Structure 1
C-alpha cells in the first residue's frame, strides 16, 4: 500500500468516527440541553467535515492536531452520565486527561470533570424565555440565526417575534429571503417558510411573528402570547434609558441594545463584566463590536502585565450607515463612497473601555479607518505595559488565555502565517489574536486582533441575553480562574 493510500484510509476512518459523533452530539443537545464544544467551538449541527476541521484547527492553538479517536471516548462517556443543561468541551477533557497522572479511566475522569452538571448538582431545565427582535437589519438577522440554531430542546431562548416598519407588497417574503440567504455569511442552515396570511416566518420549526409598527409604544406583545420577554433593539435609534424604556410594554421584561449605550445605561462585554448586571436591571447595552473586540484582550494583558496606557487603531469594514456612492451624509467623510475609499472616522470604543473595565487606570485612546471590505475588521492595540516582557512570553500567555481561561469564548488565537480578513468570517469569538503579527519590545506590546464585526459581535449579544435570561449554562471542565 502506498503512502497516499495510507493517508486516504486514515481519512476515511476519521470520517466514520466523526459521523458516529453526530447523533450523540444531537441527542445530548435536544434531550438534555448539553452543548458539546471543541476548544470553545460548538459541534452542534456540524457536518462530518466541519467536525474534522474543528479537530484539525487545534494545531493552531496547541501546536498539534487533535484526533477524533482521542475525543470520541469522552463523548461516549458523557452518554452514561445523568447530565443537566451545560456546555462540555471534549477538547479540554482530552487535553487535561493527558496531563492527569492518577491512572483514571476515561469514564471516571469524565464523570469527575463534569460532576457539577450531574446528579444533585445539575441545573434543572427551565421553560425557556421569549425573545423579541426590534429591527431586522444586519445584526438582527444574524442574531435571529443564532437564536434559531440554539433553540435546542425548546427550553432555552425562543425567538417569538420581529418588529419592523411596513415595507409594502410582499414585505414578509422579502425579509424571509434576507434571512435565508446572505452574501457574506452564506445560506441559512435549515428550512424557512412564510405564512403571509398570519404574518409568520417558520424557521426550523420556530414560528416567528412579524409585527409591523413604527412606534414601540403602540405594541402590546401579550396580544401575541408573548410573556416576560427580552427585547433586543438592533436599530440603534434609541441609546439612552429614556428612549429604550419605550420598549417596556406589556410582555416585555428587559431591553438589550446592540449599540453603545448612553448615560447610565450599562455597557456590557460578555466575559468581562456581564456578572455585574443587577437582577432588576431592565435596560442594558452590549456596547459596540470594537469594544467587544478590544476589552477582553485588554483585560487579559492588564491582569498579567499591567497596562499604563494604550491606543487602539481600528481598520474597520464599511457599514450600512455609509454611502454606496458619494452622496450627502450628516458626517463629514462617511458620505464618500464606501466601496471605493478608505475613510477616516471616529470610534467610541476607546471611551467605552472605561464603562466595561472601570478598574483599569490606563488611558486608552482610539481612532478608526473604514476600508472597502464588507465584513471582518482588525484592531491594532498598542500598549505600554507596567513591566518588561518578550514576544514569546506574551504569545504563550495569550495562547493559554484562549484555551483555558474564563475568556476562552471571547479570545481566539491563530498562528497561521497567511491568515487574511476573510478567513475570520463567521468567527464566534469577540476577537482573534494574530500570533504572527504580534510585536513586543520591552514594555511595549502591539496586538493585532481580528474580529467579525457582524457575526462575532452577534454571538456576544446572544451570550448576554442568555446570561440575563438564566439559560447561560456552565462550561466543563471549568476554566482556570
Structure 2
C-alpha cells in the first residue's frame, strides 16, 4: 500500500467516526438540551466534513490537529451520564485529559469534569422565552437565522414575531426570500414556507408572525399569544431609554438594542460585563460590532499587562447607511459611493469602552474608514502597556485566552499566513486575533483583530439575550479564570 493509500484510508476512517458522531450529538441536543462544542464551536447540525474541518482547525490555535479518534471516546462517555442543559466542549475535555496525570479512565475523567451538569447538580429545562424582532434588516435576519437554529431542542429562545413597516405587494414573500437567500452568508439551512393568509413565515417548523406597524406604541403583543417576550430592536431608530421604552407594550418584558445605547442605557458586551445586568433592568444595548470586537481583547491585555493608553483604527466594511452611488446624505462623506471609495468616518467604539469596561482608566481614542467590501472588518488596536513584553509572550497568552479562558467565545485566534477578510465570513466570535500581523516592541503592542461585523456581532447579541432570559447554560469543562 502506498503512502497516498494510507492517507486516504485514514481519511475514510475519520469520516466514518465523524458520521457516527452526528446522531449522538443530535440526540444529546434534542433530548437533553446539551450543546456539544469543539473549542467553542458548536457541532450541532454539522456535516461530516464540517466536523472534520473543525477538528483540523484546532491546529491553528493549539499547535496540533485534534482527531475525531481522540474526541469520540469523550462523546460516548457523555451518553452514559444523566446530563442536564449545558454546553460541553469535547475539545477541551480531550486537551485537559491529555494533561491530567491521575490515571483516570475517559469515563471517570468525563464524569468528574461535567459533574456540575449531572444528577442533582443539573439545571432543569426551562420553558422557552418568546422573542420579537423589531426590524428585519441585515442584523435582524441573521438573528432570526440564529434563533431558528437554536430552537432545535424545543427550549431556550423562540422567535414568535417580526415587526416591520408594510411594504408593497407580496411583502411577506419578499421578506421570506431575503431570509432564505443571502448574498454574503449563503442559503438558509432548512426550509421556509409562507402563509400569506395568516401573515406567517414558517422556518424549520417555527411559525413567525409578521406584524405590520410603524409605531411601537400601537402593538398589543398579547393579541398574538406572545407573553413576557424579549424584543430586539434592530432599527437603531431609538437609542435612549425614553425612545426604547415605547416598546414596553403588553407582552414585552425586556428590550435589547442592536446599536450603542445613549444616556443611562447599559451597553453590554457579552463575556466582559454581561454579569452586571440587573435582573430588573428592562432596557439594554449590545453596543456596536466594533465595540464587541475590541473590548474583549482589550480586557484580556489589560488583565495581563495593564494598559496605559490606546488607539483603535477600524477598517470597516460598508453598510446600508451609505449610498451605493454618489447622492445626498445627511452625514459628511457617506454620500459618496460606498462601493467605489474608502470613506473616512467616525466611530463611537472608543468612547463606548468606558461603558463596557469602566475599570479601565486608560484613555482610548479611535477613528474609522469604510472600505468597499460588504462584510468583515478589522480593528487595529495599538496599546501602550504597563510593562514590557515580547511578541511570543503576547501570542502565547492570547492563544491560551482563546482556548481556555472565560473569553474563549469572544476571542478567536488564527496563525494562517495568508488569511484575508473573506475567510472570516460567518465567524461566531466577536474578534479574531491575527497572529501573523501582531507587533510587539517593548511596552508597545499592536493587535490586528478581524471580525464579521454582521454575523459575529449577531452571535454576541444572541448571547446577551440568552443571558438575560435565563437560558444561557453553563459550559464544561469550566474555563480557567
Partner residue in 2 for 1:425: 425
Secondary structure of the 1:367 match is strand
In the aligned structure 1, how far is the partner of 2:394 from the partner of 2:343? 32
Partner residue in 1 for 2:263: 263
- Output aligned runs, 1:304-343, within 5 Å: 304-343=304-343
In the aligned structure 1, how far is the partner of 2:214 from the partner of 2:352? 30
Partner residue in 2 for 1:245: 245
- Output aligned runs, 1:128-143, within 5 Å: 128-143=128-143
Partner residue in 1 for 2:476: 476
In the aligned structure 2, how far is the partner of 1:329 from the partner of 1:13? 58
- Shift of residue 153, structure 1, vs aligned partner: 1.7
Partner residue in 1 for 2:83: 83
Partner residue in 2 for 1:388: 388
In the aligned structure 1, how far is the partner of 2:127 from the partner of 2:154? 8
In the aligned structure 1, how far is the partner of 2:76 from the partner of 2:334? 54
Partner residue in 2 for 1:453: 453
Partner residue in 1 for 2:104: 104
In the aligned structure 1, how far is the partner of 2:42 from the partner of 2:397? 24
- Shift of residue 152, structure 1, vs aligned partner: 2.1
- Shift of residue 155, structure 1, vs aligned partner: 1.3
Partner residue in 1 for 2:13: 13
- Shift of residue 154, structure 1, vs aligned partner: 1.3
- Shift of residue 271, structure 1, vs aligned partner: 0.1
- Output aligned runs, 1:58-77, within 5 Å: 58-77=58-77
1:42 aligns with 2:42: yes
- Shift of residue 124, structure 1, vs aligned partner: 0.2
1:228 aligns with 2:228: yes
In the aligned structure 2, how far is the partner of 1:395 from the partner of 1:311? 20
Partner residue in 1 for 2:441: 441
In the aligned structure 2, how far is the partner of 1:155 from the partner of 1:390? 47
1:197 aligns with 2:208: no
- Shift of residue 385, structure 1, vs aligned partner: 0.1
In the TM superposition, structure 1's runs of 4+ consecutive aligned residues that sit over 3 Å from their partners are none
- Could you list the per-position Cα deviations for residues 72-104 of structure 1 after superposition, in whole angstroms to 9, with x for gaps in the alignment? 000000000000000000000000000001110
Secondary structure of the 1:148 match is helix
- Shift of residue 256, structure 1, vs aligned partner: 0.1
- Output aligned runs, 1:255-294, within 5 Å: 255-294=255-294
Partner residue in 2 for 1:217: 217
- Shift of residue 135, structure 1, vs aligned partner: 0.2
Partner residue in 2 for 1:379: 379
In the aligned structure 2, how far is the partner of 1:242 from the partner of 1:90? 45
- Shift of residue 168, structure 1, vs aligned partner: 1.5
Secondary structure of the 1:197 match is helix
- Could you list the per-position Cα deviations for residues 49-85 of structure 1 after superposition, in whole angstroms to 9, with x for gaps in the alignment? 0000000000000110000000000000000000000
Secondary structure of the 1:330 match is coil
Partner residue in 1 for 2:23: 23
- Output aligned runs, 1:341-360, within 5 Å: 341-360=341-360
Secondary structure of the 2:72 match is helix
In the aligned structure 2, how far is the partner of 1:74 from the partner of 1:167? 51
TM-score, reference length from structure 2 = 1.00
In the aligned structure 2, how far is the partner of 1:328 from the partner of 1:357? 37
TM-score, reference length from structure 1 = 1.00
| Structure 2: stretches of 5+ with no match in the other structure | none
